[in-house]
Amino acid sequence: MRMAPSKKEVFRKTFMAIPLPFSKWLYAVARNSLFRDPHQPYFELAFEKVQSMHVAGDYLEFGVYQGTSFILAARMAERHSLKAMRYFAFDSFEGLPEAEGRKFNKGDYCCSEESFTCMITKAGVPLRKVVRVKGWYDETLTNYTRKRHQLNQAAVIHVDCDLYSSAKVVLAFVEHLVQVGTILIFDDWYAFSNEADMRNFGEQKAFNEWPLKDAFEDFYDFSTTKAFIMTKAYSPRH
């Protein structure tokens, strides 16, 4: 027997059929009522902080899936008048490259670039400020990518790539972009809580091995998410 579509599925189908600017309004209303995003106050805290500290730089998200947190970040940047900020979306758009532990399987979180772009456009994210970098991280997170997009500083970094192998490459890439005041958010910090020692998996393992970890202090801790703020200057490896 075929399952009835969920409320989210019904909303998504309706939402995608509505033209701008009405779709942007509908998305904002839904996120503040029917589908309230529990991460919103924490993202607000991050963007308030970089604004108050006058941290210049872009928003980088690694693992964008369908764009939920990406849209939230763009809304927060707009709310806090971070007009020079660009929004970088780094993703293979083919799902996870491999399995890890008992939590993630190869191909999980697959969403096409076209679907992601349509979703963020309907939600009102200005595409002129969006930079999509498609591909596996070991191929795209390079000096060439930084130079091509004149990517010099990051204000907020959202690591939502789940796996140790991916997070390790991400952290090596952003060593050249972080600065005092940069907020570093790990979406799946506690994703491996069912393993014997979650410190040996995923984003936690990658961060604990990172040479820059001591330059960061705790910023917030919420649900599966943990965020840090850079408090000490650091010269990256070359």
Cα–Cα distance between 174 and 237 in angstroms, integer? 11
Q: What is the mean pLDDT of residues 69-82?
A: 97
Q: In which residue ranges of the chain is CATH 3.40.50.150 found?
A: 38-230
Q: Beta-carbon neighbour count of residue 135 at 10 Å?
A: 14
Q: What is the pLDDT of residue 237?
A: 60
Mean pLDDT of 177-205: 93
Instruction: Taking residues 116-137, report their average pLDDT.
Output: 97
Residue 96 clears pLDDT 50, i.e. is over it: yes
Task: Enter the DSSP assignment of 35.
Answer: T
- Neighbour-count burial for 58-91, b at 16+ CB within 10 Å, e otherwise: bbbbbbbbbbbbbbbbbbbbbebebeebbbbbbb
How far apart, in whole angstroms, are the C-alpha atoms of residue 12 and residue 224? Answer: 25
DSSP string, 204-225: HHHHHH-TTGGGEEEEEEETTE
What's at 147, amino acid-wise?
K
For residue 236, the model assigns a pLDDT of: 64
| pLDDT for 1 | 47
In tens, the pLDDT along 37-61 reads 899 999 999 999 999 999 999 999 9
pLDDT surpassing 80 at residue 218: yes
Does the pLDDT at position 10 exceed 70?
yes
Q: Report CA-CA distances (Å) from 145 to 30, 182, 236.
A: 36, 20, 17
For residues 207 and 15, what is the distance between their CA atoms, to the nearest angstrom? Answer: 37
The pLDDT score that the predictor gives to residue 238 is 54
Neighbours of 225 (CB within 10 A): 21
pLDDT, mean of residues 202-223: 96
d(CA 196, CA 192): 9
**The two structure tokens encoding residue 192:** 């491996």
pLDDT range class, residue 33, cuts 50, 70, 90:
confident
User: In this model, does residue 130 exceed pLDDT 50?
Assistant: yes
The H-assigned helical ranges of 40-94 are 40-52, 68-79
Both tokens of residue 158? 């959202």
Locate 113 and state its tokens: 């670039």
Q: What is this structure's pTM?
A: 0.93
Q: pLDDT over 70 for what percent of the chain?
A: 97
Give the tokens for residue 114. Answer: 């076209």
- CATH architecture group of domain 38-230: 3-Layer(aba) Sandwich (3.40)
Helix (H, G, I), strand (E, B) or coil at 145: helix
Rounded (10°) angle between helices 68-79 and 113-122 = 40
pLDDT band at 4 (very low <50, low <70, confident <90, very high): low
